[in-house]
Structures are given as structure tokens and as C-alpha cells.
Structure 1
Amino acid sequence: MYEILIVDDSVLDIDCIRFLIEKYEFPLHAVTAVNGNEALSLLKKKGMHIDILFTDIKMPFMDGLELSREVRRLSPDTKIVIFSGFTDFEYAKTAITIGVENYLMKPIIPSDFEATIRKVLRSIDARREQEKHQKRQTRIIKSHILWQAINHTAAPDSLTEYLDPYYSLLLIECDKEFFSSVNEEFPEKLKDLLSIPFDYLNLYPSRSLLFIKKPLKDNWLLATAQSICLAAQEEYDQKCYITFDEIPDNTHIAAVYSRLEKKIETRFFFPDRNILLPNDPGHTYSAAGHISMDILADDLKLQDYDSFHSHLEEIFDSLKDDKTQSLIYVKYCFTEMVKVLSQAGNGTHWDLNALAEQIFRSSNILELMDMIRSLSASIQKASSGENTPVLKTEKIRQYIYQNYSQPLTLDEIASHFYLSPNYLCSIFKKENGCNLIKFINDYRLKKASQLLSGTQMKIHIVAEAVGFRNTSYFCQRFRDFYGETPESFRQNHSSKLP
């Protein structure tokens, strides 16, 4: 629907124009005024936009030519059509200088009116389409630079030339591939929900970023994060985890993102928390206060004893420092550690009842720590002292290379290798320097680029072949990664095609 403002001091002429709009079924919503002053008052109302000004010339208070000049100043894109009973050449010459689309004579001939309005609507449509194209191109460039910024590959000049100044960064992560299912719907939902300006970047199906363009205090950032979590839960039945931090300037985007990545990984220890505050210490216990033994079990499965001892000492420190826990609870935690160690196997057989009795007879925490250290040393010795993980991440990479076309999920990969998802991510990033999901996504996009440049496969077939079930989502991710659409990439890189 388009907005048209009809201005004439003759009510009969206004009714005639309304009749012709209905007769030709033009998609026009008509607003009327009886003189230039009234019309200008309407245009100056907040939020008032007119696509077409259809005005007489001779009117009291302000004539149509003066009104047209003011409209051109206030709204350069508004199309202006003048209709008048005057044939003076000076009027027509002035109308041309103002940039009027057409000059119709009264009484209006219906066929002339129809032709004029159709021409004007085509012009408006063409302009809107051009604006959409420019916005799409701008979004592509901005998303690509943001993608480069968080990966330390953006040119310094591009961070200021193409990007707005950012003040905060919010990282949103989900357990499931939520963002690929909602694609562009979720950022639009956020625009309606949040009262702050931001740019949105989806990194991969389970992770997105919000770049905040306005300085906000921590309590406002917290309120924003809470609103997002609540909206995701209520609208999509999806649990989100969010962490955030301030950005000193755009050159620090990569450093801030790296900190947030580390912080979001601690959600493994806080399953009941949606929001992980930037200054909270990352302990190995959950929001309910229970120490997580899963990470110790994963260390032992991998025979990664360096990591095991490191996590063990973290648990010891948390138990020593937290004076609010009861003695019974602390001893219970040590009993659980013994169970984890006994389940590691390696041919070691212990009397668990005797060890439990020893734990509950102990007089101080140092005795218990020494006991656990001694038991873990015996397990390590039983494994011939090897300190190399049984499961090399090379096996994980090979699994991805063989199955990237399938709908791989973190849970599915972790299950295949008998590990917890968070621990799998941790060891993969430790040995490969990047997040596991990012590795999968990047590999899929690189394989897609090979198919685009080396085959004539249709875009949706390429998307499916590399593991994307949603073609529009694939196109969006490809655009962010390479800075151009799959179609454009094929045109620019298909010289080898027969």
C-alpha cells in the first residue's frame, strides 16, 4: 500500500481523485488537505511519510508550488504530481525546476490520470527495489567484516569505514541448532523486543552475536540478556545462554569475543544459569553448588592426566575456599572423586568401602587431597605412565571429513567418542585452536566453494551436499564467510568449468 496526499481547496475535485483511485483499484491510501498549510502540518507529524503528493496550484494560504518546494525539502523521495486549470508556461517551468513528475490539466481526463499514477508507482517500486538491493549489499559487506573482525582477519581501516562504533558484545549460545531453524526471523524479533540499536551476526547454527551501538551500563546489559533469554524461551521453547562484555573500540572486537568464548564454555558447570556475568569466576561447580565430576571422568577416559590434575586442583581450591559448605558435603565430594577414579579401570581394584570409611574418619581436607592424589597417581602408573590422550583430535577431524554432509551435532559427535559435549569442545579447541562447531561450519563452506567453482550443481543441491538443510541459511552463512553470495562466487570463480 502506498500513501498519497491529495491537496485541493475544491472538495469536488478531491472526491473525483478518490473516485478514480477506487475505479482503477490503485493500492493507494489517500490523505487529504484543503490548502498548503494544512498539508504541510500533516507532513510534519512524527512518522508521517507520503509516497505521492497530488496537489492543485492555486490555493489559499500556501499555493501548490510553494508546498511542492517544502515537500521536496522535507521528503526528497516523495513523487509530486500537479494538477491545475492554469496553462501558464511559468507554472510548468517552475514545476520542472522543483522536480515534479507530471503536470495534469483540469478537468482531469481519467486515462491521463491512470497513466500518470501507473508511471509514478513503477518509479516508486524501482526506487524501493534499488534501496533494498543497496541495503542487502551493505548487510553483506558489514556481516563479512564482522566475521573477519572476530577472527582477527579484518583490515584495520574497514573496522571504522564500514562499521558503526560498538560499545558492547553479547554472545548467545544454544544447545540445539536453533539459529538455523529461525534464520532471519530471530533478529527481526530482537528488533521488536529491544529498544537499543545493534547489529546481528549469526556465526553458526548454535551461536550468534549482538554488537550494541549504544553505551549501556552493566545493569542494562543484564536486562537486555534477560529479555532475550525470556523471548527465546516463550516464543520458541529454546533455552539460551548469554554472556557479554564491553568493547573499548572496534579494534578490540576479536579480543572481547575470545574472552566471551571462554566464558560461555563455563556454562557446562552452571546448567541452571542462563546468563554468565563477565566478572564471575569460572569454578567447576554448578549453580546449585554441586561439583561436576563429569570433567574428571572425561579426563580419565582420554588418559589426559595433565588436564585431570589441573581440574582436580581446581576442585580442591574451590572446596578449600568455599567456607559455606558443610563438612558432610565436602567429604561426600571426595567420595564421588574416588568413584570416578575407580571407574577409570586400568586393572586397579580398590576396597571402596574402606576408602569411604577413611574419608569420613579424616580430620582435615589436606589428608583427603593427598589420598586422591595418591589414587590418581596409581591409575596413571597402571597406564604405563602414558600422558597422551587415547583419542587424538585427528580422529575427530577425520570423522567430520567423512560425515560433514550429514546433520552433525555436538551431542552426536560427543556420543560417538563417548565424551561429554563440552569436554569434547575443550580438547578440540586446545589442540586445533578453534571451536569444534566453527571448524565444521568452515569446512562445509570450503567444500561448498569447491562445488560452486568446479561443478554446475544447483545452489540448493550444493547446500544439501555439504550438510545444510536450509538453503537460505546456507546462503547467509556463505555470504558472511566469503563476502559474496553463492551465485556471485560461482560467477567469479568458475573459470575451470567446461
Structure 2
Amino acid sequence: MFKILIVDDEFIERDGIIFLIKKFSFDFHIKECSDGEEALEYMRENQIDILLTDVKMPFMDGLELSQNAKLIYPNLKIIIFSGFGEFEYAKKAISLGVSDYILKPINQLEFKKTIENVIKEVVQENKERQDREIKNFTEKEHVLLKIINGIPIENIIERFSLDNYVDFINQYKRMVLMEFDKDFFHNHQKFIRKIQDNFESKTDYLNLNPHQGIFFFFYFIDEAVLKNLCMKIHNIISEKYEIDCYFAISNLLTSPYMISEEYSNMEHIMEQRFFVSNKYIFSKNLEMSLEATDEKFDNTMLKNIEHHIKVKDFCSLRNSVNLLIKKFSAQSDFSQIYVKFVLSNIYRSIYEEMKKVSEIDLNGKIDKIYYCKTIQEISKILNNIINSMEKQFSKEPFNDRHEIDLVKSYICKNYGKDISLDILAQYVYMTPSYLSSIFKKETGMGINSFIKNYRMEKAKDMLENTNIRIKEICNLVGYSNTSYFCQSFKEFYGLTPEKYRQKDETNE
């Protein structure tokens, strides 16, 4: 749709021209101004295709307006309409490069023919200009592709004699990398112009591949403003094509020598989208909104996860996996491939543990992780298999007698050492709570009671069959405090160790 500006100090005249435009079904975006100064001010802020102006107007007449308008838009099409007595104006208007001159009162057919001719001129000139731009930008693309691929600018100029292109790369102030998860640019070339229009600034576009393109900005745009424009474009594309697009914004370009480096930076910045979901605009200054922790990623975290898998500690397993994912997200020096490799190995370990009691199919599961677009998708996959593992082991009727026997054997061999529920659980790869539960179910008593009973029996045996001093017996059966040992022995047998020994000697 072409934009036409109608300028006349008489409302009736403007209204009559608008009537004729609508009568002959000319598809124009119409703007009205009542004098030359108002019209010139409008043109300084807005581009138009055709200027239709009266000659005699207050403040600034049509000829002066035409002269000033040509300074702003040299190719602007101007039509002047005026009365018979002002033919001298017509001659001057033609010398200013006015496209046509219509006499008042306006003849409708003459008006129609004049507008049609001017539209043809605008269409033809636009086509010629676009052809020139396409030719010029094909050469620009050649230069830009080499620059972003790291070939020194001096080498490009020297090899291809492109001294005249130094000027255009000096004009770029920012770059925006636009990316899709699938082919978009090859199938929607016409939409690129609409994207450029939405940026509201002069840009060059460089297609990199079917899902990536770069926009080069000729003028400075504040980063906050640019982010809003990118979000607006994202919303338009999402609504029209039902796909998401992502943007990485470069730093300000102060030299064409920054182009290659900033392109590499934008590609690195775009990697951040793997670690955050529902975010579409990325820049160097992006602050990841992730909860900070003091724990750093190392192999200890992976060892803990392996241990949680073996002992079936599902709560700790979930917490450790979520912490690992949080650390990966917060530390941007990890590559997607490495992160996917580590997390797929955790999935494989869980799978191998589940396979011991039930046949499950791993085919395609690992591939699914490598196809994930964000780390949150992998997190969901891992949490799902942890839930499945927990359900599987909660339903499975395991025979835990072997583990109980191992615990009993450990207590019998180490009753003189420090023994705790945590130590025993770690020994048989179980959670403390689970071991405590199955031990009581199997033996009828808690683990601590079993340890105390065994120690008291051993102490009793030593009191009956040896002359070892009571303090020494206390240490041999795992007590460090003699008073506490004596009290425990009395609670168990009704006598202190000393009286128990005396009683035993008396009975003899």
C-alpha cells in the first residue's frame, strides 16, 4: 500500500480529493495536512510515496514545500494542483522536478489518469531499486559471509577489490542472530522484509542456513528497545506459524573488525537457550535467574548419584539430579553435548538397576535425551524414570534376608567399634530408613537394640569367663564411657557389671 500526503488549507478541497481516491479505488494510506509547514514536519518523521499539494497556502506554499520535500526524499513523486491564473507556478514546479500539475477545478478523468501514471512510475522505480539492492546485497553477502567466518577484512578487500565496501561495513552498529529449531528462512523469504519492518530501523539481512539468519543494524538501537522489538517479532511468528524463534543480540559494533568476534559471541550466547526454558531473547548481559549454591560440579556429585541409585534412596537421588542440572545451567562453560552425555549416563545407570528386576527397553531412550532442545526437557525425562524406578521397587517383593545377614555379620565382627545405622546402610547399599524398616520386620527388633543386645551378651560372657577388668571390657564391647556402660548393663541384666561378676563368683 502506497502512502499519499494531501496538503491544502481548504478542508473541502482535501475532502474532494479523498472522495476521488476512494471513488477510483486507489489503495492508498492517506494522510492530510492543512499547510506546508505541517506537511514538512510530518515528512521529516514519516516516509511517503506521493505528495499531492496545493500551491497557495499560508506559512509555506506548495512550491517551497516541494523543494524541501525533494531534499528529504529525492525520488518522491509530487503532484501539484492549482487554479488557471497560476500557470507561472506550474512552470516553476516542473523545474523543481514535480511529476505532474493538475488545474482546478479538477477533472475527474484527468485526476484518475494522473494518479495511475504516478503509481506506475513509483512501481517501476521501486522495482528498479529492489533489483539494484538485490544485486548489491548479493555482493554484500559474499563479503559478510567471509568476514563472519574469520577471513581478515584486508585480505577480502585486496583479493576482491572491494574498497567501496569498507564504507558499508563501517556503518553497522549492532547485529542480531535469529534462530529457529527447523527450516524457516528458506520457506518464508517474503516474511524477512516484514521482520525488517518490525525492527523499525534500516537493516541488512544475511542468510546463514535454513534456520539461522543475521540482521545488521545501520543505526544505534538501545538494547532494551531491541529486546522489546525482538519479543514483538517472536509473538508475531509464534501466532502466525506456531513455532518459536530465538534472538541473540550483539554488543555495540565500534569497528568492522568486531563483526567476526561478535558473531562467535552470539552463537555462544545462543547456547544459553538449552539451559533455560521459555526465554527467547539472549544477550551478553543476560543474568541467568538461577538459584546460586556454593557447591561446584565435580565427580563427587556423580558418585553420590550412583550411590543413591544403588541404595534406592529416591529422595536423595532426585535432589542430587536436580542440583546437578542446576549447576550445569549456572555454569555456561559446559557444552550441550557434554551435558547430554553426563545426564544420559545417569539415565543408563537407573535403567541398568531397574533391569535387574524387570525387563525394560532402553532403545530410543538415550537418543531422546540427545534430541532435547532444553535441559528442562532432560530433567523431566530423568525425573520420570526415577518415579518409575521408585514405583517398581516399592511393588517388587524382594528377599532382603541376605542383606540382613550381612548386617548381623558386620555387627558381630565389629561390635567393639563405632557402629551406626548410617554405616550399616552404606555397607549394604540401602537407605537408613529402609534398612531399619526391613531389619525390624525380619528380626523383630530395631538395629540399635540388636547392637546393644549383642554387646551386652559379649560383656556378660567376658565377665563370666575372663578376668578382664570392667573398664577394659567396656572398651572391648564398643563403649567409650564406663559409667554409661555400667548403667546400660544394669538396665539389661538388673545388676552392675561388678555385682554381676561377684554374683557369678559366689554361685561358683
Return the TM-score normalized by structure 1: 0.45
Bigger-Rg structure (1/2): 2
Q: Which has the higher contact order (CA 8 A, sep 6+)?
A: 1
Return the TM-score normalized by structure 2: 0.44
